[in-house]
Amino acid sequence: MKSTEDVNRVMEAYADMVRRICVVHLKNKYDTEDVFQNVFMKYLLYEGSFESSEHEKAWFVRVTINACTDWLRALSRRKWVSLDVLAEESTVLDNPSKEILETVLKLPEKYRDVIYLFYYEEYSAVEIAKILGKKENTVYTWLSRAKDILREKLGGEWS
């Protein structure tokens, strides 16, 4: 079992990131809270150790994405909330512009993941490939395609 100090440290370090990943994937604050709790329960039960803080962060990203995918798969049907409701909750996402947020949320999941990890978590394409278990060139292709889609839909506002 993890110490209270360790739990407090990871909550402070990763809670916002985990919550943002959940919001991007689940688009529902109630599902987000459920998966958020599940991710930290998995951490409490995890008996392995981490090589570095980057390894620990990558573990949280991967576990959160997997937990969101599992949650969506378990639902008999997908629950969608209005993007207006999500935009009201945008304090979780550091108040990005509504148009960019809506456009990013409409991207296919693989593009959403790489855009999030690249721009919000500032991972390199090489690191994203390791986290997602994909080839480096695949990540570069997905980033390029996602940027093209965003550029097309946002009229060149996305760089």
* CATH label of the domain that carries residue 146: 1.10.10.10
Residue ending a domain, choose from 95, 120, 136: 95
4, 14: one domain: yes
Locate 60 and state its tokens. 């949280």
| CB contact at 8 A, 36 and 114 | no
In which band, very low, low, confident or very high, does the pLDDT at 78 lie, cut at 50, 70 and 90? very low
Residue ending a domain, choose from 80, 95, 110: 95
| CB contact at 8 A, 1 and 38 | no
88, 101: one domain: no
- Predicted confidence at residue 93, as pLDDT, reads 47
Average pLDDT over the chain reads: 83
Domain containing residue 109: 96-159
| CB contact at 8 A, 146 and 103 | no
113, 49: one domain: no
27, 44: one domain: yes
Name which of 92, 135, 137 is nearest 116 in CA terms.
92
Name which of 43, 54, 51 is nearest 6 in CA terms.
43
In which band, very low, low, confident or very high, does the pLDDT at 123 lie, cut at 50, 70 and 90? confident
- Predicted confidence at residue 158, as pLDDT, reads 56
64, 136: one domain: no
Q: How many domains does the chain have?
A: 2
65: domain CATH number is: 1.10.1740
Helix (H) or strand (E) holding 135: none
How many residues in total does the chain contain?
A: 159
Instruction: Tell me the angle at which helices 29-45 and 53-74 cross, rounded to the nearest 10 degrees.
Output: 130
| CB contact at 8 A, 155 and 148 | no
- Predicted confidence at residue 150, as pLDDT, reads 86
- Predicted confidence at residue 95, as pLDDT, reads 45
68, 105: one domain: no
52, 116: one domain: no
